[in-house]
Structure 1
Amino acid sequence: MNRRAHSVADALRQRPVALAAAVALLAITLLCIAGPWFVDWRFDAIDFDGTWSAPPSAMHWFGTDSLGRDLYVRTLVGGRISLAVGLVGTLVSLLIGVAYGAVAGYVGGRVDALMMRAVDVLYALPFLFLVILLMLLFGRHLLLVFVAIGAINWLDMARIVRGETRALKARDFVSAAIVSGVSPSRIVAHHIVPNLLGVVVVYATLTVPQVILMEAFLSFLGLGVQAPATSWGALVADGARDMELAPAALIFPALFLGASLLSLNLLGDALRDALDPRQHR
């Protein structure tokens, strides 16, 4: 673990762009968490004395939207939801994908073939169809957005973990554990999964921006976060509709969304080089 931590630190020091991305991502996260505390407006409060779609001013730093709500607060509160969706959705996809892929790769044979054919079938189904189906079955709740995106996004991780598990299964330490009579479940939990940490961390870092973008796409289509809650994707959709009257309503959420996605991808590239050198390009 200490060796991996030193590798990550060295990778960031050797790549100033990745270090700047990590600092920018930390700054955006802290601003989303604490930023709304410095103003008196709530994210759903309407300024009845102000002007609808007002430009940025001392009272409304990012201006207001078409309903007179403060865009600064709404952008930061929306960032909380978008970042939370990215983290929780990635965690769900990792839990399902790592467990599924490790079992398929270790058991092998017909079980492996059957499990991976199920993955192929899910790959063939349209993403939007699965999301709409889940919403019809369970309703349109914010928690469902978290779970639905994560439950659909685990397929890539399952394939990656399955391939790594098949390679680890042939290693001497796993063969020694089998000869010693260690149960298969214990081998997977204590010998296989811990050695997948590097691959899992790298993929998780690269999955977070993908999940955030998925949520933004769903919210843009009206299938994601529902009012009065908001997210960067929902704000971009509202801003695109009111772009002529209030360009700031599109510019600020889009800047935060774009900066976060870029920072996460740059950071993911650095972690990939540090923790999984075989994928270095």
Structure 2
Amino acid sequence: MASNLEKLPKEKFAPAILDSSKSEEINKPSLSFWQDAWMRVRKNKAAVVSLVVMVLLIIMAFLGPLISGREYDTQNVAHANLPPKIPGLENVSWLPFDGEKKLPNGNVINPYEQKKVDEYYWFGTDPLGRDLFTRLWKGTQVSLYIAFLAAIIDMIIGVAYGAISGYYGGRLDNVMQRITEVLIGIPTLVVVILMILVLEPGILSITIAMSITGWVGMSRVVRAQTLKLREQEFVLASKTLGNSDGRIIFKHLLPNLAGVIIINTMFTIPNAIFFEAFLSFIGLGLQAPNASLGTLIDEGYKVLRLHPHEMIIPAIVISVIMVAFNMLADGLRDALDPKMRD
């Protein structure tokens, strides 16, 4: 044992030299709130995959009609109810893109050969011979437009209304909250029906209906958070320095409410898509020849047993959109809400 110690150099037993000036030095780079939130989102694989899927769907909603080279409302009755047929995949037997159709009695036919159609319809055609690939992406475009419109209405009207109500409080808050209680007690479907009686069924009536009642939920959430923040020290300090109420709301309160606003907005989008699809399915939404995911599902439902692809394809797309938005919203909630942090 002694021989082993003798082999060690004396420098190994010298005391460590510590620099007291670096004792409180932070080696990790400082991150802003948004950088930290983005880092947390990237760790959530489901949220990242949902974000990628959502971006691809949005891109296809605008490029899809251009790729097909067809108009969404062009009719060709001679090509009605054709099954999906995609070049390159038509020879793969286990994929349903070979242009063949199985009848209820078990027989398999090829409508392309029967009707002598030389064109390819990637997602098939509807009973009027319109290209479903073009109509699907045009319908996705309309559904996303209505969804993002609902989100914008929430962010403009709901946030402003809730912030003003919560910040001023008192009699103004009581009056404003009684108004929201009246609006939230009116079913949105009733408002849509009233709009249809005045206007024609379509995007305009749905937009007005959402503008009347859609922002109430966001305003109540923002008001509740504003009631907490308005008594914080940084708000009181801003008042002491003589800042106006408007500057305090937009400069200090809203940035601290950004996380809550983004989370609620992300949950609003899939709800609006489902609401539009529901209205179109029951005949209160868009009217022919316009297309949305709801109208496509409604048209496909009528011929589900004979031509299931006409309903299955738009149903898959709307399901993927809603799942992607909800999973991304969950990821953002975990990243932006301090109570959800580990």
- Cα contact 2:195–2:208 (8 A) shared by 1: no
Q: State the number of aligned residues.
A: 279
Aligned to 1:46: 75
Aligned to 2:217: 156
Please say if 1:57 is aligned against 2:85. yes
Say which of 252, 274, 278 aligns to 1:191: 252
Q: How does 1:87-236 map to 2 (within 5 A)?
A: 87-236=148-297
Aligned to 2:52: 23
1:164-212 alpha-carbon deviations (Å, 9 max, x no partner): 1111100112112222332222222222222211111111111111111
Query: Quick one: which amino acid aligns to residue 54 of structure 1?
Result: L
Partners of 2:253 and 2:240 in 1: how far apart?
16
Cα gap change, 1:197 to 1:241, in 2 (>3 Å): same
Q: Quick check: which one's helix share is greater?
A: 1
Q: Which moved more, 1:110-119 or 1:147-156?
A: 147-156
Partners of 1:224 and 1:260 in 2: how far apart?
19
Q: Which moved more, 1:261-270 or 1:209-218?
A: 209-218
Partners of 2:294 and 2:70 in 1: how far apart?
21
Aligned to 2:34: 5
Partners of 1:253 and 1:208 in 2: how far apart?
18
Query: Quick one: which amino acid aligns to residue 171 of structure 1?
Result: Q
Q: Identity over the aligned pairs, expressed in percent?
A: 36
Structure-2-length-normalised TM-score: 0.77
Question: How much has 1:112 moved relative to structure 2?
Answer: 0.9
Partners of 2:341 and 2:162 in 1: how far apart?
23
Question: How much has 1:98 moved relative to structure 2?
Answer: 0.4
- Cα contact 1:33–1:76 (8 A) shared by 2: yes
- Cα contact 2:40–2:335 (8 A) shared by 1: yes
SS at match of 2:78: coil
Q: Which moved more, 1:99-108 or 1:218-227?
A: 218-227
Structure-1-length-normalised TM-score: 0.93
Q: How does 1:65-104 map to 2 (within 5 A)?
A: 65-104=126-165
Question: How much has 1:44 moved relative to structure 2?
Answer: 0.5
Please say if 1:35 is aligned against 2:96. no
1:81-112 alpha-carbon deviations (Å, 9 max, x no partner): 11111111111122111011011101111211
Partners of 1:121 and 1:268 in 2: how far apart?
29
- Cα contact 1:89–1:150 (8 A) shared by 2: yes
1:89-144 alpha-carbon deviations (Å, 9 max, x no partner): 11112211101101110111121122112211212112211112233334434234
- Cα contact 1:149–1:215 (8 A) shared by 2: no
Cα gap change, 1:72 to 1:89, in 2 (>3 Å): same
Query: Quick one: which amino acid aligns to residue 44 of structure 1?
Result: D
Question: How much has 1:8 moved relative to structure 2?
Answer: 3.6
Partners of 1:269 and 1:101 in 2: how far apart?
23
Partners of 1:41 and 1:150 in 2: how far apart?
34
Cα gap change, 1:121 to 1:280, in 2 (>3 Å): farther
Cα gap change, 1:121 to 1:26, in 2 (>3 Å): same
Partners of 1:280 and 1:239 in 2: how far apart?
44
- Cα contact 1:53–1:246 (8 A) shared by 2: yes
Cα gap change, 1:4 to 1:225, in 2 (>3 Å): farther
Partners of 2:341 and 2:266 in 1: how far apart?
15
Larger radius of gyration: 2
Gaps of 5+ in 1: none
Partners of 1:3 and 1:150 in 2: how far apart?
35
- Cα contact 2:188–2:213 (8 A) shared by 1: yes
